[in-house]
Structure 1
Amino acid sequence: MIPDLPWLLFAVALLTGGLVKGALGVGLPLVAVPLLSLGMPPHLAIALLVVPVLASNFWQAVEGGRLVPSLQRFGGLIAAQFLATVLTVRMTLALSASQLSAMLAGAVLLAVALMAWKPTLQISASRERAVGVGVGLLSGLLGGVSSLTGPVIITYLMALRLRRDEFVGSISIIYLSAALPLYGAMLLFGRLGPTELTGSLLALVPMAAGLLAGKALRQHLDDNRFRRVLLVFLIVLAILLLLK
Structure 2
Amino acid sequence: MDQTTLLTFIAATFVLAGFVKGVIGLGLPTIAVGVLGVVMAPAQAAALLVIPNLVTNSWQLTGPKLKAIAIRLWPMLAGTCVGTWAGAGLLEKAKDGSATLWLGIALVLYALVGLRAAKLRVPASAEIWLGPLVGVITGAATAATGVFVLPAVPYLQALGFDKDELVQALGLSFIVSTIALSFGLVGAGALDLKVAGASLLALLPALAGMWFGQAIRQRISAATFKLCFFAGLLALGGYLVVRTLL
Q: TM-score if structure 1 supplies the norm length? A: 0.89
**Aligned residue-pair number:** 239
Corresponding position: 1:144 with 2:140 = no
Which consecutive aligned stretches of 4+ in structure 1 deviate over 6 angstroms post-superposition? Answer: none
Structure 1 distance, partners of 2:111, 2:137, is 15
Shift, 1:32, TM fit: 1.1
Q: Retained in 1: the 8 A contact 2:47–2:199?
A: yes
Superposition pairs of residues 122-137 of structure 1, within 5 angstroms = 122-137=121-136
Indicate the larger mover: 125-134 or 204-213.
Answer: 125-134
Specify the alignment match of 1:191 in structure 2: 190
Letter in 2 for 1:203: A
Shift, 1:11, TM fit: 1.6
Letter in 2 for 1:213: F
Shift, 1:184, TM fit: 1.6
Shift, 1:5, TM fit: 7.2
Structure 1 distance, partners of 2:180, 2:157, is 25
Shift, 1:113, TM fit: 4.3
Indicate the larger mover: 232-241 or 8-17.
Answer: 232-241
Q: Alpha carbon RMSD of aligned pairs, Å?
A: 2.2
Q: Retained in 1: the 8 A contact 2:105–2:238?
A: no
Corresponding position: 1:161 with 2:160 = yes
Specify the alignment match of 1:58 in structure 2: 58
Shift, 1:19, TM fit: 0.5
Specify the alignment match of 1:208 in structure 2: 207
SS in 2 for 1:150: coil
Shift, 1:102, TM fit: 4.5
Structure 1 distance, partners of 2:24, 2:112, is 20
Specify the alignment match of 1:86 in structure 2: 85
Superposition pairs of residues 68-107 of structure 1, within 5 angstroms = 68-93=67-92, 95=93, 98-99=95-96, 101-107=97-103
1:85-144 Cα distance to aligned partner (Å, 9 max, x none): 110013434x16x35x44433433443444455663222222233322221121111011
Specify the alignment match of 1:40 in structure 2: 40
Q: Structure 1 regions of 5+ residues with no counterpart?
A: none
Structure 1 distance, partners of 2:5, 2:85, is 29
Indicate the larger mover: 168-177 or 101-110.
Answer: 101-110
Q: Structure 2 regions of 5+ residues with no counterpart?
A: none
Letter in 1 for 2:37: S
Distance 1:80 1:230, change over 3 A: same
Shift, 1:149, TM fit: 1.6
Distance 1:162 1:43, change over 3 A: same
Q: Percent identical across equivalent pairs?
A: 27
Q: Retained in 2: the 8 A contact 1:74–1:129?
A: no
Structure 1 distance, partners of 2:87, 2:4, is 30
Q: Retained in 2: the 8 A contact 1:14–1:28?
A: yes
Structure 1 distance, partners of 2:18, 2:240, is 19
Specify the alignment match of 2:237 in structure 1: 238
Structure 2 distance, partners of 1:137, 1:115, is 22
Q: Retained in 1: the 8 A contact 2:112–2:230?
A: no
Corresponding position: 1:108 with 2:107 = no
Distance 1:67 1:241, change over 3 A: same
